[in-house]
């Protein structure tokens, strides 16, 4: 694949794009000259972002999409193909979160989080990957998390497990798709100012909210969106929102026992006993 990919007039589909990172990415794609399909379970939010993208001078559509439904993905694909006749970038970004002690999280919540955060990517691949393979070009962006790279909290295990699985799926897809002309980017955000906590369901009280570390500053979604566009343009696989996370990963790989003990003894507390 070329070192830099021309993105003007390409077509990008972004799920969970009604707010947060998805919104930031959709508008960044629009600024880069891509036509954009904004997909979100909240149709009014999707249409608002699509209108903002059109204000940047590109064609854009807002589509309601429940990523927990295969039928909804089929409808999304059909809407994209009816409007634009092709798809070049698929960003799987929708996600939900919860909090609770491991023994207090219901099995149904594990199923909910894995269904949205992980199986949504499986559904997306089912409907969009054949199109990309047929045309022999394109790019997939999967949103994982620092929480999928190393563990800094114990109250969000379904979320962390789902995001670790996203990392593995993304890497396997890259092995398969790069030789076939299709790029893959695994976006791993650290702290970003989004509204994902609106989806949070708390199953325990009095828990400290732990973060990935004091060295990571809070980013705005628009900043992350620009990072995504640059990664797609340059066909970059691993996209952490802060390169300092590499030192954390090296520390864990070098001395996993010591790393775990330090996380126990020196947790980074964002909010004390908030729930």
Would strands 11-14 and 89-92 be described as parallel, antiparallel, or unpaired?
parallel
Give catalytic status of residue 152 as yes or no: no
Strand order in the sheet with 35-40: 60-64, 35-40, 11-14, 89-92, 138-143, 182-188, 238-240
Q: Which of 150, 152, 159, 176 is catalytic?
A: 159
Alpha-carbon distances, residue 20 vs 6, 17, 181 (angstroms): 26, 7, 30
Q: Please, which residues bridge with residue 37 across strands? A: 13, 61
What contacts 26, CB < 8 A, 6 or more positions away? 12, 14, 17, 36, 38, 49, 50, 53, 60, 225
Active site residues: 159
């Amino acid at each position: 694949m070329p070192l830099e990919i021309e993105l003007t007039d390409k077509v990008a589909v972004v799920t969970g794009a009604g707010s947060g990172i998805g919104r930031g990415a959709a508008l960044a794609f629009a600024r880069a000259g891509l036509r954009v399909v904004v997909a979100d379970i909240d149709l009014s939010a999707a249409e608002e972002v699509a209108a903002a993208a059109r204000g940047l001078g590109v064609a854009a559509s807002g589509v309601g999409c429940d990523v927990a439904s295969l039928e909804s993905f089929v409808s999304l694909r059909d809407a994209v193909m009816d409007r634009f006749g092709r798809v070049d970038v698929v960003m799987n970004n929708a996600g939900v979160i919860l909090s609770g002690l491991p023994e207090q999280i219901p099995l149904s919540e594990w199923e909910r989080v894995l269904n949205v955060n992980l199986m949504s990517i499986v559904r997306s691949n089912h409907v969009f990957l054949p199109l990309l393979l047929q045309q022999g070009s394109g790019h997939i962006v999967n949103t994982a998390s620092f929480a999928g790279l190393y563990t800094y909290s114990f109250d969000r295990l379904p979320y962390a497990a789902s995001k670790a699985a996203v990392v593995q799926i993304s890497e396997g897809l890259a092995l398969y798709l790069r030789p076939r002309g299709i790029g893959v980017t695994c976006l791993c955000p650290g702290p970003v100012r989004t509204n994902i906590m609106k989806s949070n369901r708390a199953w325990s009280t009095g828990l400290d909210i732990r973060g990935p570390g004091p060295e990571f500053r809070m980013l705005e979604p628009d900043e992350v969106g620009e990072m995504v566009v640059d990664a797609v343009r340059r066909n970059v696989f691993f996209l952490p929102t802060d390169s300092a996370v590499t030192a954390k990963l090296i520390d864990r790989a070098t001395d996993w026992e010591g790393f775990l003990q330090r996380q126990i003894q020196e947790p980074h507390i964002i909010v004390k006993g908030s729930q």
